[in-house]
Amino acid sequence: MRKNRMLALGALALVLFGACGVGGSSKPTLKIGSVGFDEARVMAEIYAQTLEANGYTIDRAGIGLGQRPVVAPAIESGQIDMQPEYIGSRLGYELKANPNPSVQPTGPDSAANLAGLQTMLTPKNMTVLNYTPAIDTNAFVVRADTAAQLHLSKMSDTAAVQDQLKWGLATDCPTNPLCGAPGGALEQYGLTQQTLAGATLLAPCDTPMADALKNGTIDVAELCSTQPDILVNGWVVLQDDKNTQPADNISPIVRNDYLAKVDKTSFEKLLNDVSAQIDTATLAELYKEVSVDKKDPKDVAATWLKSKGFVK
């Protein structure tokens, strides 16, 4: 009898211990993801380490998961819980899939882009947090010698010489209205579908695209405006003189079912406070340290967060 009583007490202790381990102040693991280029990876790390410093457990398997057509379904399905996102480009992606007459197309108004994106993501049970002051935009870039030879300074200059240029465009360009989709941005500049069909398709804002421009495989590269390769190599960013590209501030997108499991106000404040400190110069420097200086995104994120007092 005594033995049975001891077993029963032991079982009760295990139940109580287990309850303490999963209830109350415990925080569920957050699965964070990002698109595949260095700037997005370091932003994911900044948000991840901020949360870790405040008691959250982070699953990083989704960082660098792929381009937007891979990452967007991943957060919709719950494969990941959160991602840093470029709000103008994501709004364009959402509008392409599901046009909404109440939402304006993407443009230079960051606040309008955020509001529009939230409208598109609310039915998908996601929340868009505050955006960074930093703005990154899609940029079409040429080498300095190409700009001088063909007298290129703005995108509209390329129409007359489009058949003399080897184009390097994003992998989703043929269907992306911000790029080469019928009636999209590049058609507005006078580029033909015949020209676009001959483009080399590569991941935008990534090293292979920059390398292809550097070695002459392509003459026009679709990069990000904060990409350090532009400054390092003295390349020319062609002016978007028809304002076809959106203002791409960065915002964390979080699944609502995850926010329901935590202190939502505290969680959002942690990330909003960090985002508020990232201006365009800071974003470009973080990107450079990973892409050009070949530092680990985790180390770059940790150094910056410590310098701002977000982590010890």
> For the chain, percent helix, then strand, then coil, each to nearest 5?
50, 15, 35
Looking at the fold, whether 132 and 264 belong to one and the same domain comes out as: yes
| Final residue in a domain of this structure, among 237, 262, 279 | 237
Asked, for residue 175, whether it belongs to a domain, the answer is yes
Q: Which two tokens stand for residue 212?
A: 């292809």
Rounded percentage of the chain residues whose pLDDT exceeds 90:
85
- Residue 14 in domain: no
Q: Give tens-digit pLDDT for 141-192.
A: 999 999 999 999 999 999 999 999 999 999 999 999 899 999 999 999 999 9
Phi and psi torsions of 233, nearest 5°? -100, 0
User: In the predicted model, is pLDDT for residue 12 greater than 50?
Assistant: no
Of 237, 258, 282, the residue that ends a domain is 237
Shared-domain flag, residues 111 and 252? yes
Per-residue pLDDT reduced to its tens digit, 118-146: 999 999 999 999 999 999 999 999 999 99
Q: How far is CA 154 from CA 164, 214, 222, 239, in A?
A: 16, 20, 14, 4
Same domain, 37 and 179: no
Q: Is position 229 within any domain?
A: yes
* Closest alpha carbon to 226 in 290, 275, 178, 174: 290
Measure the CA–CA gap between 3 and 109, rounded to whole angstroms: 72
Query: Tokens for 83?
Result: 């991602």
- On whether both 103 and 126 belong to a single domain, the answer is yes
- 20 within domain boundaries: no
Number of separate domains in the chain: 2
Same domain, 116 and 262: yes
Same structural domain, 296 and 207: no
Beta strands in 87-216 (DSSP E): 126-128, 135-136, 138-142, 167-170, 200-202
CATH code, domain carrying 84: 3.40.190.10
What is the arithmetic mean of pLDDT over 213-241? 96
Domain that holds residue 34: 30-136+248-307
Terminal-to-terminal C-alpha distance of the chain: 54
User: Which residues, at least 6 apart from 178, have a Cβ–Cβ distance to it below 8 Å?
Assistant: 89, 92, 106, 138, 184, 185, 244, 245, 246
Does the residue 22 lie in any domain? no
Any idea what DSSP says for residue 165? S
- Same domain? 105 vs 37: yes
The predicted structure's pLDDT at residue 25: 53
Q: Read off the pLDDT of residues 82-95 as tens digits, 9 standing for 90 and up.
A: 999 999 999 999 99
The model's pTM is: 0.84
Look at residues 185, 215, 237 and tell me which one is the last residue of a structural domain.
Answer: 237
Looking at the fold, whether 34 and 132 belong to one and the same domain comes out as yes
Cβ proximity of 230 and 186 under 8 Å? no
Same domain? For 61 and 104 the reply is yes
What is the spatial distance between Cα 64 and Cα 184, in angstroms, rounded to a whole number?
27
Q: Which residue, among 106, 61, 59, 60, has the nearest Cα to 87 in the 3D structure?
A: 106
Kindly state the DSSP code that residue 260 receives in the 8-state scheme: T
Q: Residue 125 falls within a domain, yes or no? A: yes
Tell me, yes or no, whether 38 and 131 share the same domain. Answer: yes
CATH number at residue 167: 3.40.190.120
Q: Are 115 and 127 part of one and the same domain?
A: yes
- Domain check: are 40 and 131 in the same one? yes
Angle at 67 between CA 53 and CA 296, to 5 degrees: 40
